[in-house]
């Protein structure tokens, strides 16, 4: 059997690329997952229906209204197609 340096280089290059790809995917997976408890282990996450939340935000409009934190809120959706008609129609 004759040693072919081109095919050995190609095979080594493929191995390196596979290792780099695997490493990159591992890093991306680690960056996307989070064990961080954003509320510091204090209050449990809030639950709210999206429609009710949006309607409440529109009713609380003022020049000095404070932003609402939604980081610990889990929204549920009831898919009501007419939920925002009162805001958008005259």
* Tokens describing residue 57: 């935000």
pTM over 0.75: no
Return the pLDDT at 39: 47
Which pLDDT tens digit goes with each residue over 34-85?
A: 555 554 556 666 778 888 888 888 888 788 888 888 888 888 888 888 888 8
Which residue bears the tokens 């005259």? 90
């Amino acid at each position: 059997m004759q040693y072919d340096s081109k095919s050995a280089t190609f095979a080594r290059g493929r191995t390196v690329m596979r290792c780099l790809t695997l490493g990159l995917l591992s890093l991306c997976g680690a960056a996307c997952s989070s064990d961080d408890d954003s509320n510091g282990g204090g209050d449990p996450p809030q639950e709210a229906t999206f429609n009710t939340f949006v309607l409440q935000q529109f009713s609380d409009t003022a020049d000095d209204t404070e932003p609402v934190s939604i980081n610990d809120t889990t929204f549920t959706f009831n898919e009501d197609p007419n939920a925002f008609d009162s805001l958008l129609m005259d």
